[in-house]
Amino acid sequence: MEEDISYIGRIRQFGWNARMYLLHIFGMDVIHGAWEVLFNLYLLLIFPELGIAFVGLRIAVMGIAGALSSIPMGKFADRIDRKWGFIIGDGGGAACSLILIMSVDPTTILAFSAIAACFGSLHHVTEVPFMAENSSPGERIHLFAVGSGFRTLAAMLGAIVAGILPAYLGDIYDIEIIEAYRLAVQFAIAWWFLSLIPAFLLRRLDVEFEEHPEGKTGLFSGIRNPLPIRRFIIVSAMLAFGAGFVIPLANVFFHEHSDILAGEKQIGMIFAAGSLALSIGAFMVPLVVDRLGEISTIIWTRFAAIPFILMIGFAPELASPETVVSIAGLAWVLRTTLFNMSSPVMEAFTMSKLEPSERATFVGISRFFGAGLIATGGFLGARMMADGNYSTPFIIMAVAYAISTMLFMQWFGAHSDPEDLAEINR
């Protein structure tokens, strides 16, 4: 039995790779936070005649590219040093983003969005296995939680910068808003490249991979636990489908809804507040898990988030014009905090049930379905919002989240089939 060590003690035990990883993701996610606020709004500015429908098309293209590349990238990531997964994935993504922000051609934007999604797949299928392999079972929750907290703090900083920097640059350099958007993103992409330095400093970690069972070869040859993998994928796929209707379009919802009409600064502050609350929640996760356990933490934080999903979508009907932005923004912050508190716990729980040889492959399969369903949801959600229907996407998201959480509770909760649990926890 491992020695009982305090929260801070667990963090102090993090090795060199874990610390370099935290530095890397902090720098990288500053950019993601800014990009999340700015790029869809940038597209609405340069393609006013295409509008929200083009944003939805781009989401769909990225989702399809991410889905198709995920399984091969997962297999690739299980075979190479994890550091190169970060370097190739993030370096390629930064280069594509630079091209995207300079382009005014819709075809070029769609093509490089697809390429960027492929690079993003490599990062995503590398990240979770990397954390699992650079932490002991006793500190795994802490690394996943601290990693989530660092990511969201960085996203908060990026959202604040995105909300303020374009107008500031426009005033300083006396340039139009489109050029201010571009200049702001170029500053951010320079930081993105700097974030690769800690990735280059990662040390190779020797991880024992078991031989492929029964001499199998191919993309799925490393899989040794098909039952839990199948169930994990179904749970995550339902979440992805529901999230696709809303999450990629959240800034569009706040900016374009006729009863809200939030500006870039307001949207940046809403996203920043959500990131700050989520980071606090992420750092609290190990304490919550100590009290409730992994499975109960996942179930109850996800269920608790669902009412706030509906509150966002129906805020214009629930609030006065003077308070609608505040109500919708507060609901966004609470939804983000409650639901995403489950993410590091779910990631750690999943990795603990899988073999090293199948971890990135599993993440690739999960991302294949998730990216495809996010693309589907994003495309349909954008069409609904383009037609003025802003509430239905939130209803679909809430229902999908509820179904996913109930399935997780059925399969992994206290009243699950003992034989299934024996298979999963063998």
d(CA 243, CA 394): 9
Q: With bands split at pLDDT 50, 70 and 90, how would you rate the model's confidence at 422?
A: very low
Q: Is the pLDDT of residue 42 over 50?
A: yes
Q: Is the pLDDT of residue 419 over 60?
A: no
Average pLDDT over residues 359-382: 85
Residue-wise pLDDT tens digits, 239-248: 999 999 988 8
SS3 for 146? helix
Higher confidence at residue 36 or residue 90? Answer: 90
d(CA 72, CA 364): 7
CB-CB contact of 384 with 168 (8 Å): no
Question: Where in the chain are the domains?
Answer: 15-202+225-424
Average pLDDT over residues 254-280: 74
Q: Is the pLDDT of residue 414 over 70?
A: no
pLDDT at residue 214, as a whole number: 54
Residue appearing with tokens 């490393």: 222
> HEC states along 266-302?
HHHHHHHHHHHHHHHHHHHHHHHHHHHCHHHHHHHHH
Average pLDDT over residues 105-123: 93
Q: Is the pLDDT of residue 5 over 70?
A: no
d(CA 314, CA 90): 37
CATH superfamily of 15-202+225-424: MFS general substrate transporter like domains (1.20.1250.20)
Q: Which of 25-34, 330-339, 366-375, 417-426 has the lowest mean pLDDT?
A: 417-426
Q: With bands split at pLDDT 50, 70 and 90, how would you rate the model's confidence at 260?
A: low
d(CA 83, CA 80): 8
pLDDT at residue 80, as a whole number: 77
Higher confidence at residue 341 or residue 152? Answer: 341
Higher confidence at residue 136 or residue 302? Answer: 302
Q: Is the pLDDT of residue 304 over 90?
A: yes
d(CA 152, CA 147): 9
pLDDT at residue 264, as a whole number: 67
Q: Which of 81-90, 109-118, 250-259, 332-341 has the lowest mean pLDDT?
A: 250-259
Q: Is the pLDDT of residue 119 over 90?
A: yes
Average pLDDT over residues 94-115: 91
Average pLDDT taken over every residue of the chain = 82
SS3 for 103? coil
CB-CB contact of 247 with 274 (8 Å): no
pLDDT at residue 1, as a whole number: 41
Q: Which two tokens stand for residue 2?
A: 């491992």
Q: Is the pLDDT of residue 325 over 60?
A: yes
CB-CB contact of 163 with 37 (8 Å): yes
Higher confidence at residue 396 or residue 183? Answer: 396
Residue-wise pLDDT tens digits, 200-252: 888 876 655 455 555 555 555 566 778 888 999 999 999 999 999 988 888 77
Q: Which of 103-107, 126-130, 296-300 has the lowest mean pLDDT?
A: 126-130
pLDDT at residue 258, as a whole number: 56
pTM above 0.75, yes or no: no
